[in-house]
Amino acid sequence: MKEYFKQKLNEKEYKKLKKISDSNVLGYIKEAIELCNPKSIFVNSGSHQDIEYIREKATTLGEELQLAKEKQTIHFDNYGDQARDKKNTKILVPKGKELQGVNTTDRDEGLMEVLGFLKNIMNNKEMIIGFYCLGPVNSPFSIPAVQITDSFYVAHSENILYRIGYEEFTSKEKLSYFIKLLHSAGALDERNTSKDLDKRRVYIDLEGNIVYSTNTQYAGNTVGLKKLSMRLAIYQASKEDWLCEHMLVMGIKGKNDRVTYMTGAFPSLCGKTSTAMMEGEYIVGDDIAYLRKINGEIKGVNVEKGIFGIIQGVNSKDDPLIWKALNSDNELIVSNILMKDDKGIHWIGKDGEIPKHGFNHSGEWEPGKKDATGKEIKVSHPNARFTIKLDMLDNLDPDWDNKDGLRISAFVYGGRDSDTSCPVEEAFDWGHGIITKGAALESETTAATLGKEGVRVINPMSNLDFVSVPLGKYLEMNLEFGKNLKSPTNIYGVNYFLKDENGKFFNGREDKRVWYKWIEKRVNNEVKTIDMPTGRIPLYKDLKELFKEVLKKDFSKEEYDKLFTIRIQENLKKIERVRSWYQKLNNIPEKLYQILEEQEKRLHDAQKKHGSSYISPFKLT
């Protein structure tokens, strides 16, 4: 096989590739070359020279444009290619198998289609072969990955977002497991954006352990190491008794320099980013976590080493840490925002006035410009992004890259809920938490999304879009994961969106800082709780002290009463919604219905005992 590569690669690139011995890795690369038929081939070993070559080639080819600062560039996607293509993102399923609630297609038909699109697709392009590691390098969490692409923008993005894994491939004669990713941007238009969007496909083949992506450049469809390989990791985790979760990882500071690590799962627009970037605490990761049981403890790592974040609304007041990173001189890629005439940048919600002219994802732009349907084109796309390394953030945890993982003391689940759940609540035990906080996770739509507020969407563990095993099996994985732990991990629900009868939020924007300080104290056995029918809540005196200590403000008994009153009917309605949703699916664990029924009984008993549908926490102290 090495003779084949010697013929296909120049001597410099061949020397990099010949250090790899694994025949499965080399076989995949050979198949990709034969399929895509590139004009030339570049091997990214992760050396300084290779990293710089990719960065410079991205601008030379026009996939990125140079901004005013030396290490900063802007990328534009096609006007119709600026978000994840959910319709054409599918898991390939063999005949006779099914995955409920997930977008799938027949494996044989899907492979025939996507391989047909990829045939000779790189015949006038340079193929980039990149070696990465998901999770820390040389770690129990490490998953090696090979990304093959013809987009230098994609390769540049991955060099920022992921750990280089070349040594993972060269130091081992045989890898037990690795992920394969094959992408081509396809034919490009005069602006160097993918133009054959009718042939855009993102197919995940679980059996072949490979992601195929064609005729798209948007990073969510092409940076295969992110949500695309997440499906492959969940599938692998299901066979090996660990979890791949759509979770942030953060460290909350306690007394005597103590740091307590927690995960957090939040659906879109439910506070995930603001939680990960919370003032005074440590960020480990903002998006995806690998979790393993090691010596009776749950350990977790951030899969990534960078952030691919939404830039809309980022400003100096609300997002000081990200703002500082975006305005530094460090390496940065922005996408689908405005490049000003002086090569500065602007986006929706940025400090300062909107420029009168510039260049964005729609071409030359000025205020009032409209698209083909007559809709006004804003200064930037709502899904415009920034790509930075985590070490640009002042609040990065010093131990964030610990190859042994960080001990996770709490799982936190949070949704957008205006009338049911209190701001912070501890589950009674692991099973109760997985079902009532995780599997029952709901989020309300906003008026801006559907024109109607309050439509509740169930999103188990905030992971529904990415689950690649039957949902019943996924719930069983989560339930089993908490067994036989010598150091218990508590589960919590949080809710930042509780409203009064006039639609006004009870919570202040910064109140979440108190909820997490309370969780930190609770898992370290420094505060007690009150048992409610739905879980355990804080004592008033503890929150009063924390509000004064953390936010320098008073917290009244009236506020506590409004926030932590148990709302019987609202909780009963939620149980019925959750139960009805799961009853439409096959092979859901009986444990889910049992735990919901037990909670339902506690709610009825509380209502009968107190003679009211609204029970003050002061009545239960």
Q: Are residues 460 and 575 in the same domain?
A: yes
Q: What is the pLDDT of residues 601-615, one digit of tens each?
A: 999 999 999 999 999
How far from the centroid of its chain's Cα atoms is residue 332's Cα? Answer: 19
- Whether residue 476 is found in the same domain as residue 555: yes
Same domain, 346 and 452: no
Write the CATH number for 166.
3.40.449.10
Between 501 and 375, residue with greater pLDDT: 375
Q: In sequence order, which residues have a C-beta less than 8 Å from that of residue 439 and are 6 or more positions away?
A: 460, 461, 475, 478, 578, 582, 592
Looking at residue 26, its pLDDT comes to 97
| Average pLDDT estimate for 548-557 | 97
DSSP 505: B
pLDDT higher than threshold 60 for residue 461: yes
Q: Which of 240, 269, 290 is the last residue of a domain?
A: 240
Q: According to the model, what pLDDT value does residue 574 have?
A: 98
Domain assignment of residue 366, yes or no: yes
Return all residues near 242 (Cβ < 8 A) that are at least 6 apart. Answer: 290, 291, 292, 293, 481
Catalytic residue among 36, 244, 270, 422: 270
pLDDT at 102: 86
Are residue 538 and residue 602 in the same domain, yes or no?
Answer: yes
pLDDT in tens, 349-394: 999 999 999 999 999 999 999 999 999 999 999 999 999 999 999 9
What stretch of H or E contains 181? strand 179-184
- Tell me: do 517 and 584 sit in the same domain: yes
Q: Which whole number is the average pLDDT over 303-322?
A: 94
Q: Does residue 422 have an active-site annotation?
A: no
Based on the fold, state whether residues 493 and 609 are members of the same structural domain.
yes
For the entire predicted model, the pTM comes to: 0.95
Q: What is the pLDDT of residues 188-244, one digit of tens each?
A: 999 999 999 999 999 999 999 999 999 999 999 999 999 999 999 999 999 999 999
Q: In this predicted model, what pLDDT tens digit does every residue of 19-58 receive, in sequence order?
A: 999 999 999 999 999 999 999 999 999 999 999 999 999 9
Residue 447: pLDDT over 60: no
Tokens linked to 16: 């990099």
Is 431 a residue whose pLDDT tops 90? yes
Same domain membership, residue 551 and residue 537: yes
Q: Please check whether residue 56 lies inside any domain of the structure.
A: yes
Bridge partners, residue 284, by sequence: none
> Is residue 70 one of the residues assigned to a domain?
no
> 177 with 118, same domain?
yes
Q: Copy the structure tokens of residue 354.
A: 């909107």
- pLDDT at position 448: 41
**pLDDT at position 450, please?**
39
Given a cut of 90, whether residue 488 has pLDDT beyond it is: no
Q: Does residue 220 lie in a domain region? A: yes
Q: What number is the average pLDDT over the span 311-330?
A: 94
Q: How far apart are CA 618 and CA 557, in angstroms?
A: 9
User: What helix, strand, coil percent values describe the chain, rounded to 5?
Assistant: 35, 25, 40
User: What is the number of structural domains in the chain?
Assistant: 3
Residue 265 maps to a domain:
yes
- 227 with 366, same domain: the answer is no
260-274 average pLDDT score: 93
Domain-located, residue 73 = no
pLDDT average, residue stretch 522-541: 98
Say whether both 205 and 120 belong to one domain.
yes
Confidence at residue 466, expressed as pLDDT on a 0 to 100 scale: 94
Helix (H, G, I), strand (E, B) or coil at 25: helix
pLDDT attached to residue 452: 59
Residue 453: pLDDT band with limits 50, 70, 90? low
Alpha-carbon span 210 to 177, nearest angstrom: 12
CATH number, residue 335: 2.170.8.10
Q: Check which CATH number belongs to the domain holding 490 and give it.
A: 3.90.228.20
Let me know whether 379 and 405 are in one domain: no
**Boundary of a domain, candidates 240, 260, 282:** 240
Above pLDDT 70, what percent of the chain?
Answer: 99
Q: Can you give the pLDDT at residue 454?
A: 67
Burial 356-392 (b: 16+ CB within 10 A, else e): eebbbbbeebeeeeeeeeeeebbbbbebbbbbbbbeb
∠ CA 126-46-222, rounded to 5°:
55
Query: Do 253 and 344 fall into the same domain?
Result: no
- CA–CA dist 111, 105 (Å, integer): 10
- In terms of residue numbers, what domain contains 436? 244-304+401-619
Domain final residue, candidates 392, 409, 433: 392
* Residue 535 in domain: yes
- Is 71 part of a structural domain of the chain? no
- For 569-591, how does the pLDDT look when each residue is reduced to its tens digit (9 = 90+)? 999 999 999 999 999 999 999 99
